[in-house]
Amino acid sequence: MNGQEQGSAIRINQEGYAAGLPVHAAVLAEGRVTLRDETGRTVREIDVKPPETDAASGDRVALVNLGRLGEGVYTLSAGGAAQTIRVRKDPWRAVTDGMIKGLYFQRCGCELPARYAGPYRHPACHTAEVSGWEDRSLRRKVPGGWHDAGDYGKYVGPGAVTAAHLIYAWKLFPDGCSDDLDIPETGNGVPDILNETRYELDWMLRMQREDGAFYHKLTKDHFAPFIMPQDDTEPEYLMPVSHCATAAACACLALAARAYRAYDADFCERALRSALQAWEWLRANPEFIPYRNPEGVRTGWYGDRSDADERFWAACELYAATGENEYREAAEALYAQGMQLIQFGWADVGGLGALCCLFDLRERAGDILYGALREDFLRQSEEGLAWSRQSGYGTSLAPDRYIWGSILPIMSHAMAMILNARLTGREDMRDAALIQWDYALGLNALDLCFVTGFGERRVMHPHHRPSEADGVSDPVPGLISGGPNKGFPYPFTRDRLKDRPPAKSYLDETPSADTNEIAIYWNSPAIFVGAYFRSSVRGK
Ligand SMILES: [Zn+2]
């Protein structure tokens, strides 16, 4: 981007559109918008009102709804510019599958052979025994898991949230997930999205202390330079346990114990036992102590203000897994304190508890966790729709909310709107969620597809160590960038962006971690959204 104004006067989903779903485009021109089919016949003509200035981007832009289109290749023209619009039956298979495969590329502790990784192959990394940070006499092998983001750390809370997004994507939209992702487990009779998730879950089980608590993270004391993972051989440590990591792992493993029941009974038993031990530790340690990096540790903090939402999610999942009233009562008591139900990120996980209650427990959850919670959820999820309607691009984010990883609140809103649409059948919610999916794939103020390896105008220089160090010019594919961040730019970014508006505060440059890092828990909500839209068009 280099801070310059660029891009087409027409912004579209660069991966194309689905037959049967509305087609949206953003037009930065006044006058008439014309859509022609392959024969040149005009199929739509829309007079765009003089566009208003979009507060987040500063662009004069109008969001145009072209309605449902049949399969084909169309040309959209406006203000002297033209874009090709491709409408297909199942257009988002490659990008949704690609983002799950993106997590395969984050695998730690195993070789990524050319057979599955192509030019992104590398030998096994981070295989050495690790020690405890507080107790150096503690020595353990803790292989596996996904590298969290652009760095090589592995963090329990973010991993738990990522795994939960994937498991719920499979539970709710099984036909939105392909089973031929070309990963080592492909063809083993387990859906590939669960195969990939299992790689993280097996690691998570190893991150539990004997007393049931979970170590917050497994990292070095500082971030590695931009080297390949197998060359990052300095010692790693089990950092202190934390309430949030323990509660998030408890929830995620209780969910896994249900999800994998048909595939691996032994694993489910281990996962549930681990979740119950975690819950016992939380009961014995009721006072929340926020995690802080020990002195001398400078890797990701992932701090949190409260563990009430993590405990709430854990109680919901344990109730779903065991049916025991103790967990329902715990969830009800936590819910009564007030709960954000549309948050699906690593810090705020109330939305995952809501998902469990509304879609898995349903009426079994009772008057509070289904009846009252459903009303609460529907009311809260209006927020995403309201923000989408106020944005020139239809983006579900207030102009002052472009934070580090702005893709997360945007995808979280899309998740909430999808769940609302599933509960109520509301098409306005579904269509607004679709516009967030379009945002991720190019319908945005940057005219950029945020997923590496996809789209015509794509991210090329993510803050991602292997992508920089592997000698391959294209970045590792299937990873979604955090996107514009006005809130807290690093000096590198701030110096280059200066007075850029929030939705354009982005640099496709490797050092710009605050706008162009990737993260497993940004891929996963996008996978959830992609799986939903794939399943909604494949069923037709
Ligand atoms: Zn590794």
Tokens describing residue 85 = 């619009």
Q: Kindly give the distance from the C-alpha atom of residue 72 to the centroid of ligand 1, in angstroms, as a whole number.
A: 44
- Rounded CA-CA distance 75/85 in Å is 6
Give the residue from 119, 7, 149, 220 showing the smallest Cα distance to 462: 149
pTM higher than 0.95 for the full model? Answer: yes
Task: Find the range with the poorest average confidence among 46-50, 92-96, 334-338.
Answer: 46-50
Q: Kindly give the distance from the C-alpha atom of residue 177 to the centroid of ligand 1, in angstroms, as a whole number.
A: 26
Q: Kindly give the distance from the C-alpha atom of residue 167 to the centroid of ligand 1, in angstroms, as a whole number.
A: 23
Average pLDDT, the chain: 96
- Rounded CA-CA distance 197/203 in Å is 10
Q: Kindly give the distance from the C-alpha atom of residue 103 to the centroid of ligand 1, in angstroms, as a whole number.
A: 13
- Tell me: pLDDT of 98 over 70: yes
Q: Kindly give the distance from the C-alpha atom of residue 142 to the centroid of ligand 1, in angstroms, as a whole number.
A: 11
**HSE, side-chain direction, 13 A CA sphere, residue 40:** 0
Q: Kindly give the distance from the C-alpha atom of residue 114 to the centroid of ligand 1, in angstroms, as a whole number.
A: 17
The pLDDT of 22-29, averaged and rounded, is 96
Q: Kindly give the distance from the C-alpha atom of residue 238 to the centroid of ligand 1, in angstroms, as a whole number.
A: 14
For residue 40, what pLDDT is reported?
97
**Contact between 287 and 199 (Cβ < 8 Å):** no
Q: Kindly give the distance from the C-alpha atom of residue 134 to the centroid of ligand 1, in angstroms, as a whole number.
A: 22
Q: Kindly give the distance from the C-alpha atom of residue 231 to the centroid of ligand 1, in angstroms, as a whole number.
A: 9
For residue 1, what pLDDT is reported?
38
Q: Kindly give the distance from the C-alpha atom of residue 105 to the centroid of ligand 1, in angstroms, as a whole number.
A: 10
**HSE, side-chain direction, 13 A CA sphere, residue 53:** 3
Helix (H) or strand (E) holding 114: helix 114-117
Q: Kindly give the distance from the C-alpha atom of residue 522 to the centroid of ligand 1, in angstroms, as a whole number.
A: 19
Q: Kindly give the distance from the C-alpha atom of residue 108 to the centroid of ligand 1, in angstroms, as a whole number.
A: 4
Q: What is the pLDDT of residues 469-506, one digit of tens each?
A: 999 999 999 999 999 999 877 899 999 998 899 999 99
Q: Kindly give the distance from the C-alpha atom of residue 161 to the centroid of ligand 1, in angstroms, as a whole number.
A: 20
Q: Kindly give the distance from the C-alpha atom of residue 148 to the centroid of ligand 1, in angstroms, as a whole number.
A: 10
Q: Kindly give the distance from the C-alpha atom of residue 228 to the centroid of ligand 1, in angstroms, as a whole number.
A: 9
Q: 319 vs 278, 327, 341, 376, 473, CA distance in Å? A: 14, 5, 18, 20, 49
- Tell me: pLDDT of 5 over 60: no
- Tell me: pLDDT of 105 over 90: yes
For residue 7, what pLDDT is reported?
78
Q: Kindly give the distance from the C-alpha atom of residue 107 to the centroid of ligand 1, in angstroms, as a whole number.
A: 7
Q: Kindly give the distance from the C-alpha atom of residue 5 to the centroid of ligand 1, in angstroms, as a whole number.
A: 38
Number of Cβ atoms within 10 Å of the Cβ of 201: 26
Q: Kindly give the distance from the C-alpha atom of residue 464 to the centroid of ligand 1, in angstroms, as a whole number.
A: 13
Q: What is the pLDDT of residues 137-176, one digit of tens each?
A: 999 999 999 999 999 999 999 999 999 999 999 999 999 9
Q: Kindly give the distance from the C-alpha atom of residue 152 to the centroid of ligand 1, in angstroms, as a whole number.
A: 6
Q: Kindly give the distance from the C-alpha atom of residue 121 to the centroid of ligand 1, in angstroms, as a whole number.
A: 13
Q: Kindly give the distance from the C-alpha atom of residue 66 to the centroid of ligand 1, in angstroms, as a whole number.
A: 46
Q: Kindly give the distance from the C-alpha atom of residue 350 to the centroid of ligand 1, in angstroms, as a whole number.
A: 30
Q: Kindly give the distance from the C-alpha atom of residue 465 to the centroid of ligand 1, in angstroms, as a whole number.
A: 11
- Tell me: pLDDT of 3 over 80: no
Q: Kindly give the distance from the C-alpha atom of residue 380 to the centroid of ligand 1, in angstroms, as a whole number.
A: 39
- Rounded CA-CA distance 252/245 in Å is 10
For residue 538, what pLDDT is reported?
79
Q: What is the pLDDT of residues 279-310, one digit of tens each?
A: 999 999 999 999 999 999 999 999 999 999 99
Q: Kindly give the distance from the C-alpha atom of residue 501 to the centroid of ligand 1, in angstroms, as a whole number.
A: 37
pLDDT exceeding 90 applies to what percent of the chain?
A: 95
Q: Kindly give the distance from the C-alpha atom of residue 294 to the centroid of ligand 1, in angstroms, as a whole number.
A: 22
- Residue 469 burial by Cβ neighbours in a 10 Å radius (0-12, 13-18, 19+): middle
Q: Kindly give the distance from the C-alpha atom of residue 125 to the centroid of ligand 1, in angstroms, as a whole number.
A: 4
Phi and psi at 311, nearest 5°, equal -65, -40
For residue 53, what pLDDT is reported?
96
Q: Kindly give the distance from the C-alpha atom of residue 480 to the centroid of ligand 1, in angstroms, as a whole number.
A: 19
Q: Kindly give the distance from the C-alpha atom of residue 319 to the centroid of ligand 1, in angstroms, as a whole number.
A: 35
Q: Kindly give the distance from the C-alpha atom of residue 128 to the centroid of ligand 1, in angstroms, as a whole number.
A: 10
Q: Kindly give the distance from the C-alpha atom of residue 219 to the centroid of ligand 1, in angstroms, as a whole number.
A: 10
